[in-house]
Structure 1
Amino acid sequence: MTDDKLDAFCHILPRDYADRLFALDGVPAVANLRKRIMNIPSLVDLDVRFRQLDEFPGYRQIINLAAPPVEDFGTPAVSTDFARRGNDGLAELVDKHPDRFAGFCAAVALNDVNSAVAELDRAVGQLGAVGVQIYTHVQGHPLDEDRFEPFWKRCAELDLLVQVHPCRNSGWADYPTEERSKYEIWWTFGWEYDLSAFMARIVFSGVLERYPNLKFLIHHGGSMVPHFSGRVGPGWDQLGSRTPAHQQEDVTGYPLTKRPVDYFKMFYADTALFGAVHALRCAVEFFGPERVLFGSDSPYDPEKGPGYIRSAIANVEELDLTEAEKAAIYGNNVRRLLGSRLTR
């Protein structure tokens, strides 16, 4: 087993960013995050984080800002300011600790697309960001709306890694007759639906048709898509057969030149499946080992840091892969995608 591992999807809160965030009043998403952070010190405390990472020789992280998305913090101006401050903090962490952090994926405030593109340019051009983290929707709006086209165009031009994180809360009820989701179903299943719906809207709106070099990294092993590949493949080959005539506009006019499933195979997936080796095997079989990147979702495991890193490594080792395929997943794939942008 190689000691050289790059974690392509894990989270942190730079100290200054966290302090400013927790000073916000009247923002429900912040209040909930503040409560959670108290139980996960390694999100902010580097001493705690580094002691945990010492368990894994040769392991480094590509960091991003922990949820919630900056759009939840207020007006577009407030959101943009938090994205800038967060990116400054992430860049400083990478600069000070290149032995721990191989790079960072920037935050952007997509409630103002022009400002988001400008901040993306600054984060990449001035701060050295290797990618960008986005969420599955922007305050409930799907990301295939026409207003987001300049953002996709710029991501393609910059040749970035686009990390996609789910985003849903208890306000997204499980049934139309209810006001809230119960039992954290919004998280366990809702987040995975969000990721899968995002992928479908990106595919059918033609984003990947227009920008085939976009490198979307879908959190949690590509979510539902590998496990329902029969529905994504032969099922969507029959698109329209289940739709009544008066709703045909919902299933026509999409600008695709290949089978839908071929576009879904253009996404990348991470290994953040929380110890479910059978799920990781399915993801690797669907996307291929060349499109799976090592990612842990640290530090959100029950141990508050090392648990999901350890289980992701164990899962990769359990798969029937060649040493070259394991090395690709552990780090060579992300190096191929990002090259010299990484710290080493």
Structure 2
Amino acid sequence: MKVIALEEGFWYDKLATDGSPLKHLPVQPEAAADWRRRLVDFTELRLPEMDAHGIDLQVLSLTAPGVQMQPDPRLAVADARLTNDFLATVVEQHPGRFQGLATVALQDPGEAATELRRAVLDLGLCGVLVNDHTLGHFLDEPQYAPFWETLQELGVALYLHPNPVSSDEWQVLRGYPGLDHATWGWNQRVGGHALRLIFGGIFDRYPGARIILGHMGEFLPAQLYRIDTHYRHLDPERQQPLEKLPSEYFGRNIAITTSGVFSHPALLDAIQTIGIDNVMFSIDYPFEPTRDAAEFLRTAPLSRADKERVAHGNAERILGLKP
């Protein structure tokens, strides 16, 4: 069975931006050192691990926060372009093993749109990844209209990924850095960003736009019933009316991946809630073990046809990858 994994990180040391996430993570030094070694590698560690566990293709993306916390827009724009050139070279050097999601500098939305167009049309990258907020700004804000217009025009997907640098301080998490991390806080922040896009009418204005949420949809699928119920009660004077119920944007506009959540009950819940055609396999390399992810997929309680959709078919359709 062909397997595509599409939230798989890398880093490029020649960037002016110090955008590696490792200094932001409250993890053991040994783990950080191992991740650092794997992020900059493609052949000595990454490909052998893929081969050992039956991963045919990794869709690579610059690890978070990437260029998004760079305060100088000019440096951010230059680093995004440099990243995409480097990524395209890696993809070209290993045909059939890697594809890539572009990096854009949303510090300058017009330049981000221009770079997205170049990365897709000239370099052949298959989408774009954004790490949650950019210096505290979110994608429902009006200045990002050129970016959404270009995304819709190109017909490529935006992967909305956590940013290890928090956009603000949640008092309830003060004193517990391990909670404002992959353990809990990142899911809630990115899930909240996705809800801003829905409730802000982004998908009504750009019905052809598509985003991808990792980590089993940042657990939003499990909450969609309650979100719909209470959306119906909202005062239209205080919340702009939407063309659909919030849950109905999943499928047409929102798909999810399994990255870092290798739980069969969570998988089945997501499939039952948003449909088998909207769930894709991912690992979250190097932050999660490829072995665990591959075993999770191999033993998933799905029919052969459904497992094929999750393993590769949905990714090929949504990202426009060759079967």
Give the TM-score taking structure 1 as reference length: 0.84
**1:275–1:311: 8 Å Cα contact kept in structure 2?**
yes
- Structure 1 window deviating more from structure 2 (309-318 vs 283-292): it is 309-318
- Structure 1 residues 269 and 170 mapped into 2: Cα distance closer, same or farther (>3 Å)? closer
Correspondence list, 1:128-277, <5 A? 128-169=124-165, 172-175=168-171, 180=174, 182-187=176-181, 188-240=183-235, 251-254=238-241, 256-266=242-252, 267-277=254-264
Q: Aligned AA for 1:90?
A: L
Which residue number corresponds to residue 9 of structure 2? Answer: 11
RMSD of the TM alignment (CA)?
A: 2.4
- Structure 1 residues 194 and 29 mapped into 2: Cα distance closer, same or farther (>3 Å)? same
Alpha-carbon offset, residue 171 of structure 1: 7.5
**1:172–1:181: 8 Å Cα contact kept in structure 2?**
no
Does residue 127 (structure 1) correspond to residue 114 (structure 2)? The answer is no
Does residue 294 (structure 1) correspond to residue 281 (structure 2)? The answer is yes
Residue 81 of structure 2 is aligned with which of 81, 84, 88?
84
- Structure 1 residues 134 and 171 mapped into 2: Cα distance closer, same or farther (>3 Å)? closer
Gaps of 5+ in 1: 241-247, 302-306
Equivalent residue of 1:99, what SS? coil
Equivalent residue of 1:239, what SS? coil
Matched positions, count: 315
Give the TM-score taking structure 2 as reference length: 0.89
CA distance in 1, matches of 2:69, 2:300: 39
- Structure 1 residues 32 and 192 mapped into 2: Cα distance closer, same or farther (>3 Å)? closer
Q: Aligned AA for 2:110?
A: N
Alpha-carbon offset, residue 37 of structure 1: 5.5
- Structure 1 residues 181 and 282 mapped into 2: Cα distance closer, same or farther (>3 Å)? farther
* Deviations 1:285-339 (CA, angstroms, capped at 9, x unpaired): 22211001111111102xxxxx1x3333333344432211110111111112233
- Structure 1 residues 119 and 30 mapped into 2: Cα distance closer, same or farther (>3 Å)? farther
Does residue 49 (structure 1) correspond to residue 42 (structure 2)? The answer is no
Alpha-carbon offset, residue 127 of structure 1: 0.7
Equivalent residue of 1:195, what SS? helix
Alpha-carbon offset, residue 170 of structure 1: 6.1
Q: Aligned AA for 1:295?
A: S
CA distance in 1, matches of 2:225, 2:33: 43
* Deviations 1:15-55 (CA, angstroms, capped at 9, x unpaired): xx324357x5xx8968558x776322121122121221121
- Structure 1 residues 319 and 145 mapped into 2: Cα distance closer, same or farther (>3 Å)? same
CA distance in 1, matches of 2:276, 2:212: 14
* Deviations 1:139-172 (CA, angstroms, capped at 9, x unpaired): 1112111101111111000000211101243684
Equivalent residue of 2:110, what SS? helix
Bigger CA radius of gyration: 1
**1:117–1:151: 8 Å Cα contact kept in structure 2?**
yes
CA distance in 2, matches of 1:236, 1:297: 32
Which residue number corresponds to residue 108 of structure 1? Answer: 104
Q: Aligned AA for 2:306?
A: E
- Structure 1 residues 274 and 29 mapped into 2: Cα distance closer, same or farther (>3 Å)? closer
Percent identical among aligned pairs is 30
Which residue number corresponds to residue 97 of structure 1? Answer: 94
Which residue number corresponds to residue 69 of structure 1? Answer: 66
